[in-house]
Structure 1
Amino acid sequence: MTEKVQGPASYFPSIEEKYGRPIAEWQELVRARRVEHPGARHMELVGWLKAEHGMGHGHANALVAHTLAQS
């Protein structure tokens, strides 16, 4: 029996499908943004994904949360 993916990662298949990039690429973009803007907080990164990449709030929030948790 396989476990159902929960939490932010549960959004990843729909993020990849809707926005046409693999999650690893989105995470690199988020990490690069943090290098360019070292003080950027979670919601600032979410806002950036929404404004610059047209991402929906839930998708952006899940991606940022998961990426920052790995840092």
Structure 2
Amino acid sequence: MGSPSSYFPSIEAKYGKPVSHWLTLLQSMKGMKHMDMVAVLKNEHAMGHGHANALVAHHLSASKPPI
């Protein structure tokens, strides 16, 4: 599997919204666990598991403070 961002072009093409839209949505879910965030994207936005997981993984890795 490539990096989560390698999915971004297909996510934008399939769901018709820029990745920034999804990342803003994920920001509003602060404090939720990874799989709970994936479930919201799948259940409320009809997103496939791979695309949802890639967005959440990218969001969480970008929001972690550097070590």
State the TM bucket, normalised to the shorter chain.
Answer: 0.7 to 0.9
CA offset at residue 33 of structure 1? 1.9
Structure 1 length as normaliser, TM-score? 0.83
CA offset at residue 53 of structure 1? 0.3
Give me the CA root mean square deviation: 0.8
Where in structure 1 do 4 or more consecutive aligned residues deviate above 6 Å?
A: none
* Runs (5+) with no aligned partner, structure 2: none
Structure 2 length as normaliser, TM-score? 0.88
CA offset at residue 8 of structure 1? 0.4
CA offset at residue 30 of structure 1? 0.5
What's the % identity of the aligned pairs? 56
SS at 2:17 equivalent: coil
* Runs (5+) with no aligned partner, structure 1: 1-5
Residue among 15, 18, 37 paired with 2:14: 18
Give the aligned length.
62
